[in-house]
Amino acid sequence: MKEIELKQTGSGGLETRFIKNGSFVHTTGNQFKIFPFKTNPSGDAFMEDFKSFQGIIGELFRLTDKKTQLEVDTKGESYKTFLRTSIIVNAIKKVETKNQEEFKTMLQNLFFEEDNSLMKFNVKTIYYMNFINTNNAIKDFVKFIIDIFLKDDTLMTSLKEKKENDNILHQLIVECLPELSDVTGKSSPIQYSNLFPEINDIFKADFSFLSNDISFLLKHIEDLFKYYSFFYFTQVSIKLNNFGQGNTEVEPIFFSLDWETLSESRLLAHKTGWKQINRNFETIFAHANALELLNYIVVENHNVGDYYQINTLYHSLNDKEKNEFKSKIDCLNEFYTSHITNFDTGASWYDCEIKLQNAIEIRKINEEFDLKLFSFWYRIKYQFENSPRYKPYLDYSKWLSCFSKVNYTKNRGRLGATTVISQEMLLFLTRLCIGNESKIRLKTLWDNLKLRGIVFDETSKLEITKLFEKINLIEKKSDSGDAQYIKSTI
């Protein structure tokens, strides 16, 4: 018989981790780490960083090379101005010229934007992109991306080893970049768990393709990691709300184009859009806590994992083991509900049970084990939504909603926000879908976008086809739609 244990007492047990001064304190990431979010600060504190994504990418490149962010004493200057001045001073020292001011002006015009930021012309310049908000909480977002998408470190290693055909001025600026310090201290031994590894397989192919053209990569590196983060978050939120039921295939999101008009009838026909996604995001902290607590149940000294893994494990047990597993969930329920007593006026565990039964009927859950999993999560969700803990619950979800809103939604008046893609992003994703082919069928493009979590209705497809025709990307073999090809000349 398999050993099934609930880690309740002792070092690292439930009593130690969750009970502080006699009160229950929610904590995640000790047994099962799935999201890089905090309840303080709220996700809306990082809207500018979510939009730019440059600080996140800069930190990603530094961490994968075990380097730290450039330490500067700006003395009232912005980081960008400090970096520009430092590079130009170093360059002037290396070059003998009687026209220093003209040389300085030339370097400023060639290598720096109007806001003084360093242009990306070489992979090494990425290391100097910094965050807008200096709160360290956002750095966990970077560690998450590395654990989920870059566990195979050969991806970044091979990119960094590629030779770049820089001209003499490019080489000069690279040589003048300030030296970065090495990372000190140990990282957390607990890595983020990948709940949708199939997405990682698609990412690897797209990253490798993008790496073949350094100038293309430099232009779109933020777009790649930003979209795949969104892709992963949306798919995992859908998967969590299925509680381990169904298959593990991607459930694509309906997008429209940010320049087209969208009607209410079209929006209603979209199976999965922003409203559904955002509802999933709102309950994500309840899932994070439910899975953290469930992973204090260990089978043969191994954590039980996410809902899908828990279901798979449960159905592999014999009847006696199944009963033991269910009893451990019952113990978890008792531990949780006995320590949570502070509710808003009118709310209580009694009220929770009434609403839980209604939720079970709506979802038509019949299997005993499925009921236990769903009920445990529902009770956690209920107490967050009906207690003083609602604000941190909401602030945690804002990491997902704000990141998604600022990049992939548009407010359409009375229709509310909808998921959208810009023309530039559409052309970038199309290029990824074509890959190394010279051209692909239009139908294949729709299939490849779906593989990446994106679907369009027929009206949007027609609009996209018109765009491709306008910029001469459509090649027709005949008038048949099946005989239309998209050329890789983007």
pLDDT at 412 over 90: yes
Tens-place pLDDT, residues 421-464: 999 999 999 999 999 999 999 999 999 999 999 999 999 999 99
My answer on whether 148 and 286 are in the same domain is: no
Q: Given this model, what pLDDT does residue 10 score? A: 83
Statement to judge: residues 79 and 185 lie in one domain: yes
Cα of 475 vs its chain's centroid, Å: 35
Q: Give mean pLDDT, residues 117-131.
A: 95
Q: Which residues contact 71 (CB under 8 A, 6 or more apart)?
A: 181
Q: How far apart are CA 414 and CA 264, in angstroms?
A: 9
* Tokens encoding 104: 């300085």
User: Considering the domain boundaries, does residue 78 fall inside one?
Assistant: yes
Domain assignment present for 66:
yes
Average pLDDT estimate for 174-194 = 88
Q: Mean pLDDT in the chain? A: 93
Instruction: Provide the pLDDT confidence category of residue 296 given band limits of 50, 70 and 90.
Output: very high
Residues of the chain with pLDDT > 90, as a percent, come to 83
Per-residue pLDDT reduced to its tens digit, 454-487? 999 999 999 999 999 999 999 886 655 567 899 8
Q: At residue 405, does pLDDT exceed 60?
A: yes
Q: How many CA atoms lie within 13 A of 370 on its CB side?
A: 14
Which of 190, 219, 236 terminates a domain? The answer is 190
Say yes or no: 72 and 165 in one domain: yes
* 176/292 same-domain check: no
CA 34/CA 196 separation, integer angstroms: 11
Q: Are residues 100 and 17 in the same domain?
A: no
Q: Write out the residue range of the structural domain in which residue 12 sits.
A: 4-33+281-397
What DSSP assignment string belongs to 414-479? GG-EEEEE-HHHHHHHHHHHHTTSSEEEHHHHHHHHHHTTEE--HHHHHHHHHHHHHTT-EEESSS
Kindly state the DSSP code that residue 13 receives in the 8-state scheme.
Answer: S
18 shares its domain with 102: no
Give the total number of structural domains in the chain: 2
Cβ-contact 209, 432 below 8 angstroms: yes
Query: For residues 100 and 92, is the Cβ–Cβ distance under 8 A?
Result: yes
Decide which of 161, 190, 219 is a domain's last residue.
Answer: 190
Prediction pTM value:
0.95
d(CA 374, CA 349): 16
89 and 147: one domain?
Answer: yes
Burial of 184 (0-12, 13-18, 19+ CB in 10 A): exposed
pLDDT classification of 274: cutoffs 50, 70, 90: very high
d(CA 66, CA 78): 25
Tell me which DSSP letter residue 118 carries.
B
Contact at 8 Å (CB) between 180 and 67? yes
Question: Nearest 5 degrees, angle CA 314-CA 318-CA 324?
Answer: 65
Which of these, 150, 129, 252, 134, lies nearest to 194 by C-alpha position?
150
Q: Using alpha carbons only, what angle is made at residue 434 by residues 433 and 436, rounded to the nearest 5 degrees? A: 120
Give the model's confidence band at 58: pLDDT under 50 very low, under 70 low, under 90 confident, else very high.
Answer: very high
Same-domain check for residues 22 and 49: no
Q: How far is CA 64 from CA 54, 81, 83, 130, in A?
A: 15, 26, 22, 15
Q: Mean pLDDT, to the nearest integer, of 15-33?
A: 93
Report CA 139 to chain centroid distance, whole Å.
13
The C-alpha atoms of residue 148 and residue 202 are separated, in whole angstroms, by 12
In a domain? residue 267: no
Token code pair at residue 406: 């600022």
Which of 130, 160, 190 is the endpoint of a domain?
A: 190
Within-domain flag for 226: no
Q: Is 105 within a domain?
A: yes
3-state secondary structure of 5: strand
65 lies in the same domain as 184: yes
The answer as to whether 62 is a domain residue is yes
Do 29 and 51 fall into the same domain? no
Q: Residues 68, 27: one domain? A: no
Same domain, 74 and 171: yes
Residue 235 lies in a domain: no
pLDDT band at 401; cut points 50, 70, 90: very high
Closest CA to 370 of 281, 243, 258: 243
pLDDT given at position 230: 98
User: Is 256 within a domain?
Assistant: no
